[in-house]
């Protein structure tokens, strides 16, 4: 049974560019969340999607956007990249958004470096 998968594993971009990160949840999981983890810090919540709808948003600028597809996979888009966007971007999936199945499982992450 495959876990959460993310692509690409590593990415190097320059300031001002755009990036798209992809995530496939565990089979049967309908909810996907995105987190940003800067080196030496805990993951920071960016978005949560369920059934293609945004269900939660963290304190990130409008340069960050996401969407979820009918197969429950998700994309995170970041426009106008800044040096400070360099981080590990983690995707996490869970089975249901409502109480009782809160456990989230993380993917391996995409390490983004902005030069």
Partner 1 sequence: GENVEQHPSTLSVQEGDSAVIKCTYSDSASNYFPWYKQELGKRPQLIIDIRSNVGEKKDQRIAVTLNKTAKHFSLHITETQPEDSAVYFCAASKGSSASKIIFGSGTRLSIRP
Using CB under 8 A as the binding rule, whether residue 56 contacts partner 1 is answered as yes
Residues 6+ apart with CB under 8 A from 80: 16, 18, 63
Looking only at the bridges linking them, the beta strands covering 64-68 and 74-78 are antiparallel
Looking only at the bridges linking them, the beta strands covering 74-78 and 19-24 are antiparallel
Using CB under 8 A as the binding rule, whether residue 42 contacts partner 1 is answered as yes
Using CB under 8 A as the binding rule, whether residue 97 contacts partner 1 is answered as yes
Q: Which stretch in 15-23, 65-73, 77-85, 104-112 sits in contact with partner 1 by CB under 8 A?
A: 104-112
Of 4-23, binders to partner 1 (CB under 8 A) are none
Using CB under 8 A as the binding rule, whether residue 109 contacts partner 1 is answered as yes
Q: Which is nearer to partner 1, 50 or 80 (CB)?
A: 50
Q: Which of 31, 68, 74, 110 binds partner 1 (CB under 8 A)?
A: 31
Are the C-beta atoms of 106 and 76 separated by less than 8 Å? no
Are the C-beta atoms of 91 and 6 separated by less than 8 Å? yes
């Amino acid at each position: 049974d495959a876990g959460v998968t993310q692509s690409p594993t590593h990415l190097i971009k320059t300031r001002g560019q755009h990036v798209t990160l992809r995530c496939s949840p565990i089979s049967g999981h309908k909810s996907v969340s995105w987190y940003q983890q800067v080196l030496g810090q805990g993951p920071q919540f960016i978005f949560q999607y369920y059934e293609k709808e945004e269900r939660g948003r963290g304190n990130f600028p409008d340069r960050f956007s996401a969407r979820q597809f009918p197969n429950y996979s998700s994309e995170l888009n970041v426009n106008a990249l800044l040096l400070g966007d360099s981080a590990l971007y983690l995707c996490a999936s869970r089975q249901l958004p409502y109480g009782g199945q809160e456990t989230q499982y993380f993917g391996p992450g995409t390490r983004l470096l902005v030069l």
